Amino acid sequence: MWSSLLTAAVLAVNTSTPDTLIVPLKEVIVTGTRVRESALRAPASVSVVDRKSFANGRDLSLSDALGGIPGVFVQSRSGAQDVRITIRGYGARGNGDRSNAGNMRGIRVMTDGIPVSEPDGRTSLDLVDLGATDRIEISRSNASALYGNASGGVVNLSTNLSFEKPFVRYEQRAGSFGFHREQGVLGFAAGRGRGTLSLGNATFEGWRKHSQSSATLGHLRFASPLGDASKLTLISDMVSTLNRFPGALTLAEVAADPEQANPTYVSRDERRWNRVGRVAATLDHTPGEGQDLAVSLWAEPKVLQRSERNRFRDFNRIHTGGSVVYSKEYGLSDGVIARTTVGGDEAFQDGSILFYDVTASGGRGTTVIANRREGANSAGGFVQQSVTWNDRWSTQVAARYDNLWYLSEDRATPNLNATKRFTRVTPKGSLSYRMPEHTIFVSVGGGVEAPAFNEIDPGPPYDATTSLNPLLDAMHSTTFELGARGVLGSAVGPWRYDAALYQIDTNNEIVPQNGGAFFYAAGKSQRRGAELTLDWQPLTALTVRGTGSFSSNEYKEYVNDLGDFSGNEMPGLPKAFFASSARAKLPQGFSAEVGVTGSSRYFADDANTAETVAFGLVNATLDWAREMPRGSVRAFLSGNNLLDKEHTASMFINGLSGRYYEPGLPLNVSGGVTLNWR
């Protein structure tokens, strides 16, 4: 198995990523690991995406920035904001009818260090705005030992608040299928403080019927020093997003008309309208030499409305929380440096839910079908100890305790009231060896992922006695990882590389059934994979990039009422996916890029009877940039799927009545201009 994966990884040398991936170097500092450290030296698989990598793009969703990250499988369901992300297989169960709410699973998403993810592990990407983002850090390794309910990794989007001069940036984008986006960003100074104000609007009419989406977003950031040893950062967000869903189709329906929508989705006008606000503050303080203290607090009110599965759903929620992390670096002896980090965090989300019937036009009816309260509290603490000696060897050990508590109150049927608690201690350890331009590391760590609140509804006969499934437990996993990154010199330009091998053994893999109406826990599963990224610059004006991800994903022991699926491939996970590109700088400020992205086939059901077809899509971009005395101007024209290949953008895992397939966009173009004043 490993030999075949290594062989495939070596063959990937001839592939290359689009300009959305920047291989981490030693001068790049990452914070998504909860401790500031060099990306080159981090003993985990970490990728960094800088704004210049996605500046010439739609900036509509995370799929426009993360499509070239190894191990990260990004699916833009209808080509707009509604995106699903899977990291090394984690989060795949979000592919289903149950997830029309636009939720990801098992991956911690943050903006400027404040969690977007909810206490139960769900993540809705309403607060994520690429147009207001300057950098993205992706931790692809198991992150539970530091973050708790985040087995699949961490995505941290950050805003640059260290600019020297105030600036104004305006972006205008437009393209196929009624796409347009307008955004203005103001960078301002107030004394020693720096801030940004971003206002944006995006609309996508969609290719498939009933796939329209829109978003209106506002973000305010301000950071100011409080003396010489402290800095206060204030955050405020307000967003409104509306997404309509075309639903999945059968193979016959795709062949007849891939633009059509599931007629049931259309008749019920299935959609999601989320209005979310957030205020947050972070205090960074340096108590003494080698010490760092970070304290964060946040509050996030939400008003969510959905037409989903023949119910009109009203949610009113408040998500509050805080975290504290303290770190101290000190010398143990000559050439031996230690760092101790301790921290804790707590998040609580509470609110009411009202379910109504759906009118003939898909509106809210007058009959109240359910009246409930849902609350989730996540609390945990961790400690991490690292030791580095001879500036070569480094070891880290960490452990975290998590206590996740669910509360469900049924105001119409009080006898269904229930609580459920998940507790877990999660360890992790690593060893790394450092050379001037290379780092090699090995790690082993645990992972924990509790079922999300909307995955824990009980099936018969328990639905008559409780509102929380007594049989569904949290996923527990162990990840083994070997990785290396660095720079290789050659006569024809340097090669930057990032490579990793991993094995993940999981108990109680949570799997959607019946279109997501309820969930089973698979006994045991195993994922083995290899990831490779290469970045080559043979000429000053030419950059070639490539990434390949190869994996085997198998149910080891899995038996339920529908059959024995032991030995089958896990649905929703391709064995291979890749991205490649070549970018050339041309005269007069022009640049051109050509790339290919693709995926192998994968299954949509536990029985392995429904599958996609492998595909490769050709994309190209022509852009132009010109510096001005007081600013700059950039413009681009981009074409995706230039050969107009039919492909599957996403699949509903264990969908209903053979409806698994969500067709991907045909040939589509976009263009835009960015104006900067300073």
274-285 tens-digit pLDDT:
999 999 999 999
Of the candidates 242, 251, 221, the residue with the CA atom closest to the CA atom of residue 80: 242
* pLDDT tens readout for residues 581-600: 999 999 999 999 999 999 99
Asked if 622 contacts 636 with a C-beta cutoff of 8 angstroms, the reply is yes
Structure tokens belonging to residue 16: 């290359």
Q: Which strand (E) or helix (H) includes residue 217?
A: strand 213-225
Q: Is residue 127 classed as helix, strand or coil in its secondary structure? A: helix
Per-residue model confidence (pLDDT) at position 39: 79
Q: pLDDT by residue (tens digit) across 496-527?
A: 999 999 999 999 888 877 666 667 777 899 99
> Which burial class, exposed, middle or buried, applies to 449 when counting CB atoms under 10 A from its CB (0-12, 13-18, 19+)?
buried
Sign of torsion over alpha carbons 284, 430, 134, 166: positive
pLDDT attached to residue 6: 34
What the block records as the tokens of 164 is 């020297």
Confidence of residue 60 (pLDDT cuts 50, 70, 90): confident
Cα(596)–Cα(408) distance, integer angstroms: 47
Check residue 31 and give its pLDDT.
67
What is the Cα–Cα distance from 161 to 134, expressed in whole angstroms? 10
Residue 182 phi/psi, 5-degree rounding, is -125, 135
Beta bridge partner(s), residue 601: none
CA distances from 28 to 135, 178, 200 (A): 11, 38, 29
pLDDT in tens, 188-199: 999 999 999 999
Joined together, the tokens standing for residue 463 give 């639905």
The size of the chain, in residues, is: 678
Give strand pairing partners of 195.
Answer: 188, 222
The pLDDT value recorded for residue 61 is 87
pLDDT at res. 127: 94
301 vs 37 pLDDT, higher one: 301
Query: What are the structure tokens assigned to 119, written together?
Result: 């206490």
CA angle 330, 158, 497 (to 5 degrees): 75
Q: For 358, how many CA atoms within 13 A lie in the half-sphere containing its CB? A: 20
CATH value of 2-677 in 2.40.160.40, 3.30.450.40, 2.40.170.20, 1.10.3720.10: 2.40.170.20
Q: How far, in Å, CA of 646 to CA of 258, rounded?
A: 9
DSSP reduced 3-state for 391: coil
Domain layout of the chain by residue ranges: 2-677
The residue among 678, 674, 677, 624 whose CA lies nearest residue 172 is 674
- Both tokens of 337, joined, read 């440096």
Output the six-digit token pair for 376: 């989730």
Residue 319: strand pairing partners: 300, 349
pLDDT value of position 95: 62
Residue 10 has a pLDDT of 32
Of the candidates 62, 60, 30, which has an alpha carbon nearest to the alpha carbon of residue 44? 30
Question: Does 625 have pLDDT greater than 50?
Answer: yes
Q: For the chain, give me the number of helices (H) and strands (E)?
A: 6, 37
Sign of the torsion formed by the C-alpha atoms of 640, 529, 508 and 125: negative
Quick check: helix, strand or coil at residue 527? strand
Taking only the tens place, the pLDDT of each residue in 166-182 is 999 999 999 999 999 99
Q: Residue 453, SS3?
A: helix
Please state, in angstroms and rounded to a whole number, the distance separating the CA atoms of residues 511 and 513. Answer: 7
The span from the CA of 571 to the CA of 222, in Å, is 44
pLDDT of residue 98: 56
Lowest mean pLDDT, pick from 145-149, 481-485, 604-608, 633-637: 145-149
Q: Which contiguous run of DSSP H or E holds residue 144?
A: helix 144-147
Rounded distance, CA 547 to CA 401, Å? 35
Weakest-pLDDT range from 90-99, 211-220, 385-394, 552-561: 90-99
For 94-132, how does the pLDDT look when each residue is reduced to its tens digit (9 = 90+)? Answer: 666 655 445 688 899 999 999 999 998 888 899 999 999
- CB contact burial 29-57 (16+ within 10 A = b; e otherwise): ebebbbbebbbbbbbbbbbbbbbebbbbb
458 and 467 Cβ atoms separated by less than 8 Å = yes
Distance CA 146, CA 400 (A): 6
Ramachandran angles phi, psi of 208, nearest 5° = -75, 155
Average pLDDT over residues 407-414: 94
Cis peptide before 461 (omega within 30 of 0): yes
Output the pLDDT for position 2.
Answer: 38
Q: Where are the alpha helices (DSSP H) in 229-378?
A: 251-256, 263-267
Mean model confidence pLDDT for the chain: 89
Give the mean pLDDT of 375-379: 95
Burial group, residue 622, by CB count within 10 angstroms (0-12, 13-18, 19+)? middle
Residue carrying structure tokens 């020093």: 225
- 116, burial (CB in 10 Å: exposed 0-12, middle 13-18, buried 19+): buried
N- to C-terminal Cα separation, the chain: 55
Q: Which residue has the higher pLDDT, 112 or 61?
A: 112
Q: Which residue has the higher pLDDT, 473 or 590?
A: 590
